[in-house]
Amino acid sequence: MTPPRAFVIGHPIAHSRSPLIHGTWLETLGLQGSYERIDVPPEELGTFLRSFAARGFSGGNITVPHKSEAMAHVDRIDAAGRAIGAINTVWIENGEVCASNTDAEGFVASLDQEAPGWDEINGRALVYGAGGAARAVVHALLGRGFAVDVVNRTMERARELAEAFGPPVTAASTRDIDDRLAEADFFVNTTSLGMAGMEPLTLHLGALKREAVVCDIVYVPLETDLLRAARGRGHRTVNGLGMLLHQAVPGFAHWFGVRPSVTPGLRAIVEADIAKPRQH
Ligand code: ATR
């Protein structure tokens, strides 16, 4: 039998860290198989998704800018993918191209591992941002019983997101952020603010309850200004690395037949890569 082959497609694709994650699992689990980076421009997306199985691939990951458009070129999309409105993982089942969005699962798995009990309050979550990542995070938080407030620079996008998910989700203006913070049991930044090369997220956490968990989906740097400030105030904090690692688990299991673990060893390898200067 030829070893399974998986891919990550995007445009451009050079910076994806997924090959490092899946390559490390293949190696440490002693499995035969490959995970390849493929640059697929938008005009070739449909053809690629309809032909990857015939070309010998078991499936793969889909990244920017294809996560929404790809939905039109697969046979089945699971509940998470439909709710989030984007897919990041495809595989073949009974001859059909199946798809999911594993970001929500990755988000909760990361919090379960790094901040056990984070959802035990089933209280209010405050989500900063209303883009694609926010949709995955909101879907995940609803799954764990939270009521969710969404705050975004562009209020209209926060409103659209709240309407798409329905009543437990409400949109709030950035002007009201202190009031929303005061009510929150959980705060998460879903924007790229604070990422290396971007503006910082400047937010005063003064109103936030000490017991609230603070999360950032950014993982370069591992500790953003937001997380440093939160840690300084005594909050439990979780960075975005765990979400990146855990969202990769279901895909690997589909393509290679083994469910991998997010181990300290894998974290150390990806952290070392994050610490390396990148050529842009
Ligand atoms: P992603 O899929 O990574 O979430 P996106 O859909 O482009 O990316 O969403 C980016 C998010 O970051 C949005 O919430 C965006 O706010 P707007 O909807 O107002 O654009 C937010 N964002 C990006 N740059 C920002 C900035 N300088 N200040 C505040 N929010 C910003």
Query: Buried (b) or exposed (e) across 243-266, using 16+ Cβ within 10 A?
Result: bbbbbbbbbbebbbeeebebeeeb
Other beta carbons less than 10 A from residue 225's beta carbon:
15
Q: Is 133 in the pocket of ligand 1 (CB under 6 A)?
A: yes
Other beta carbons less than 10 A from residue 170's beta carbon:
15
Let me know if 220 is exposed, middle or buried by CB neighbors in 10 A (0-12, 13-18, 19+): buried
**Which amino acid is residue 57, in one-letter code?**
F
pLDDT tens, 234-264? 999 999 999 999 999 999 999 999 999 999 9
> Alpha-carbon distance 175 to 151, whole Å?
9
Q: Is 260 in the pocket of ligand 1 (CB under 6 A)?
A: no
Residue 280 has pLDDT above 70, yes or no: no
Residue 13 has pLDDT above 90, yes or no: yes
Which atom of ligand 1 approaches the CA of 135 most closely? 4
Residue of 126, 192, 202, 244 best suited for mutating to test ligand 1, as the one with most atoms within 8 Å of CB: 192
Q: Taking all residues of the chain, what is their mean pLDDT, rounded to a whole number?
A: 96
pLDDT tens, 169-214? 999 989 999 999 999 999 999 999 999 999 999 899 999 999 999 9
> Alpha-carbon distance 181 to 212, whole Å?
9
Angle (CA) 229 235 237, round 5°? 80
The reported pLDDT for the residue numbered 144 is: 97
Q: Are the beta carbons of 181 and 155 closer than 8 angstroms?
A: no
Residue of 68, 149, 153 best suited for mutating to test ligand 1, as the one with most atoms within 8 Å of CB: 153
Cα dihedral across residues 222, 277, 192, 251: positive or negative: negative
pLDDT tens, 116-174? 999 998 799 999 999 999 999 999 999 999 999 999 999 999 999 999 999 999 999 89
pTM for the predicted model, two decimal places = 0.96
